[in-house]
Structure 1
Amino acid sequence: MDYLQERAWKESNDHHVNNNNNNNNNLRRVFVPGPVIVGAGPSGLAVAACLKQRGIPSVIIERTNCVASLWQLKSYDRLRLHLPKQFCELPLMPFPQSFPTYPTKQQFITYLEAYATKFDINPLFDESVESATFDSGIGFWRVRSVGKGKSGEEGGGHEFVCRWLVVATGENAEEVVPEIRGMKEFKGQIVHTSCYKSGGAFQGKKVLVVGCGNSGMEVCFDLCLHNASPSLVVRDAVHVLPREMLGRSTFGLSMWLLKWFPVRLVDAFLLIVCRILLGDTSKLGLVRPRIGPLELKSSAGKTPVLDVGTLDRIKKGDIKVVPGIKRLTRQTVEFVNGETEDFDAIILATGYKSNVPSWLKEKGMFSEKDGFPRQPFPNGWKGDNGLYAVGFTKRGLLGASMDARRIAEDIEGCWKAEVKNLTPLSRS
């Protein structure tokens, strides 16, 4: 233990003794000389790797038993990256050249595991953070967690004491399950997409998919491939774009055009090409918003749908588009237009939300309403007292990688300054 660690650890323990905080005696206190990173998804791994490159140690706390748990435990089998791989790679390590333009779920997981191995990142798994509080008395964060034993039961807890805290739990920490009138009466299966793996489990069944984002659209397509009969609930306006146009990825083309033209002009161009390639989607029940796809993404964080074949299935009648749900009965769904239809199962493609307000006891940086940084991109990565956020840009892995580099650079500056100004502890 060097002087900096020893001083902080001594002050931390003295502070507890002086305050007679006996309620936490069952916690095992661990001093972390570098940052504590909460979350071992792509964002957390990216920060840890950037810090490691600069010689700064860190500890990642992960509530599940693996890295990238959203991909490994809560995604469907046919999932691929929606953007070309060059826009999804993490800092300091590109995808293998042998990977296709749009890597599969398993290829992406393999890449992330190899990333963790390359940078010797070893998260503390099965450790769920209950609270994180900044202790102004000593100028350090106290991060309290509860671990799981081999049986899955909650075990002993830890209190990590650290100078810097990186929130990397991301935008998709908890499932959003809407309250639908009559849900308890419905006798069919109701599952969130986090539990959906393949349409094979629904072969020959009538399935209602609630949510018309990328997941909902792709689940409908997957159900068709497994001889199910899906219907898609579309309540709001939605932009559907082809995944590729003019021989290039739509996203890549958009990013290139934005270098030369304003966003509204690029949006106008995209919509003209979409009309030529896809036709009038409003005739299929998919009305476009008044604001263009890129402007809407920037202002509201609403991601356009990149079509992987679902539109063609809708045109053929394999997928039925239906309005919002009014209520459910035993096997029947009543829609807001008064029509009713029987279904065997309902799949909720209703997305995820941040869980930061439930454990971070700091109200300045993150909004209690949605769990996102109050400052929009590109200024939402840094808060006060050594608090950082990564993976909350609403710009996917590209935004997370940008913030990971910023965070590592900023912490390195603080690290060097504190070591330089350090006065050794006296020895007795």
Structure 2
Amino acid sequence: MDDTTPVAIIGAGPAGLAIAACLRQTGQDFVLVEKEQQAAPAWRRHYERVHLHTAKRYSSLPFMPFPKEYPRYVPRDLFAAYLDAYAQRFDLRPRFGETVRAITRRGRSWLVDTTTGTLHASNVVIASGNNAEPLMPGFAGADIFKGRKLHSADYRNAMPFADRPVLIVGMGNTGAEIALDLVEGGARPTISVRGGVHIVPRELLGVPIQMIGMAARLMPQRINDALFPIILDLALGRLEKYGLKRPKQGMLQQISEASRIPTIDIGTVRKIREGAIKVAPDIAEITEQGARFADGGHGEFDAIIFATGFRPGHARLLEPGVQPGRSGVNARASELGLYLIGFHNPVTGLLREISIEAKQIADDIGLRRNRKKAAETLPV
């Protein structure tokens, strides 16, 4: 089935829904495709206890705030319900079960090859997200481990691990929260931390850390990176004695240069201080019964959970050399009519950034459409 559309949107997660709503509000047509059978599938697969780490006031999508009765930090199920209501409000009807195989340039337009046909589009918005494909690093000895191995994408709750020693590899937000979930569910978790990690409380003196990050942008990055360690030591204590060291890069420097956001603590640090969650250094090798660490220590575990992140996966859809640049609108994206949304996670929050980008992209697509119409009416 071949179709022609002004805009093809790839992915019906929060970013795809946001740009679709913005286009709908400005009277622009589009086709929204999603490889799964429901909107925001990644969110629905998240482990059960997950909440937004950013405040609901700054995390809603364009034109529709969260309901007043929702808590400040929205849990997974309520967020999924919000996204369903959002799609219904703006009459967003994704074409489910349609996987994009390739996006190729044809003149000044695009061909989007999917499992059900080809879309001819003047503009393409890639909204498939940073978490499209789980990353599983190759550790020496991983094949001989006799326990259970899984990526954090496959973790649901602590029930299967109750009273068992579990190794979590990685202490980003996912690894830290899974460790907390495990210990509260009766498991005995250890987190392997490679290098350093920046940790911030979810709130500082009752103020969401997201809002503090927004205010901090008014000062130069180097000043913030000098001040934050002092403030965080007062808020969380000095964590080096528990095996948690800070990276050499400052926190904001790391966000801007490596797109690595800090770990937002919701209780994991307290459990580490209490000894309920143990911290180990990087893994040297995995053994039959557990893991050997970089400091020579060894631990025995019944399961290893790899909280080792994801990769976007969209680059393989594009022809070599075709890149729209960073997320949002820039000269390259506007020239090509090829946009990324939801791939930039600043200190002010991913969902807030998605809302900003969605409006900018919809406006830019409108300007491209108007320029094209004006060019077509010029006398030859």
Fold shared, TM-score > 0.5 on shorter chain:
yes
- In structure 1, the partner of 2:338 is 387
Inter-partner Cα distance in structure 1 for 2:132 and 2:335? 23
Q: CA deviation at 1:363?
A: 2.0
Residue aligning to 2:182: 223
Q: Secondary structure at the match of 1:280?
A: coil
Long gaps (5+) in structure 2: none
What is the rounded CA distance, in whole Å, between the counterparts of 1:286 and 1:118 in structure 2?
45
Percent identical among aligned pairs is 36
Amino acid at match of 1:299: E
Please say if residues 328 and 357 of structure 2, whose CA atoms lie closer than 8 Å, have aligned partners that are also in contact. Answer: no
Q: Which residue of structure 2 lines up, in the alignment, with residue 11 of structure 1?
A: none
Q: Deviations over 1:224-250 (max 9, x none)?
A: 011100000011111111111122011
Residue 155 of structure 2 corresponds to: 196
Q: Is the 8 A contact 1:380 1:389 kept in 2?
A: no
- 1:143 is matched with 112
Give 1:120's aligned residue: 91
Q: Does the 8 A contact of 2:328 with 2:340 survive in 1?
A: no
Alignment partner of 1:267 out of 195, 200, 225: 225
C-alpha separation in 1, matches of 2:109 and 2:327:
26
> What is the alpha-carbon distance in structure 1 between the residues aligned to residue 332 and residue 215 of structure 2?
25
1:29 positional shift: 1.2
**1:92 maps to amino acid:** F
User: What are the Cα deviations for residues 349-407 of structure 1, in whole angstroms up to 9, with x where unaligned?
Assistant: 011101012212252325xxxxxx3x477748825431111111123122222111111
Rg (Cα) greater in structure:
1
Q: Which 5+ residue runs of structure 1 have no aligned equivalent?
A: 1-27, 147-156, 367-372, 424-428
Task: Show the counterpart of 2:244.
Answer: 286
CA RMSD across the alignment: 1.7
1: CA distance, partners of 2:343 / 2:47: 23
The alignment's TM-score, normalised by the length of structure 2, stands at 0.94
Distance across 1 between alignment mates of 2:183 and 2:332: 41
Report whether the alignment pairs 1:320 with 2:291.
no
Taking a change above 3 Å as real, the CA distance of residues 393 and 380 of structure 1, as seen in their structure-2 partners, is: farther
Structure 2: how far apart are the matches of 1:363 and 1:87? 35
Partner SS, residue 238 of structure 1: coil
1:112-153: per-residue Cα shift (whole Å, max 9, x none)? 1111111111111111100110112xx32111111xxxxxxx
2-structure distance, mates of 1:380, 1:314 = 47
Pick which of 292-301 and 278-287 moved more.
Answer: 292-301
3-state SS of 2:32 partner: strand
1:89 matched to 2:60: yes
**Whole-Å separation in 2 of the counterparts to 1:310 and 1:408:** 40
Q: Give the count of matched residue pairs.
A: 374
Counterpart residue type for residue 369 of structure 2 = W
The residue aligned with 2:319 is: 361
Would the alpha carbon gap of residues 380 and 70 (structure 1) be closer, same or farther in structure 2, given more than 3 Å must change?
farther
1:331, distance to aligned residue in structure 2 (A): 1.7
In structure 2, C-alpha distance between the alignment counterparts of 1:376 and 1:134, rounded to whole Å: 19
**1:110 CA displacement:** 1.0
Would you say the 8 A contact 1:381–1:403 is kept in 2? no
Higher mean Cα deviation, 383-392 or 36-45? 383-392
Correspondence 1:52-63 to 2 at 5 A? 52-63=24-35
Give the Cα–Cα distance (whole angstroms) in 1 for the partners of residues 164 and 204 of structure 2: 34
8 Å CA contact 1:38, 1:61 repeated in 2 = yes
Whether 1:158 aligns to 2:158 is: no
Q: How many angstroms apart in 2 are the aligned matches of 1:362 and 1:67?
A: 29
CA deviation after TM superposition for structure 1 residue 256, in Å: 1.8
8 A Cα contact 1:140 1:161, kept in partner: yes
Partner residue of 2:352 out of 398, 405, 414: 398
Q: Give the C-alpha shift of residue 101 in structure 1.
A: 0.8
> Is 1:207–2:207 an aligned residue pair?
no
CA contact (8 A) 2:191 2:277 kept: yes
**Compared CA separation, residues 377 and 115, structure 1 to 2 (3 A):** closer
Alignment match of 1:338 (pick from 296, 299, 311):
296
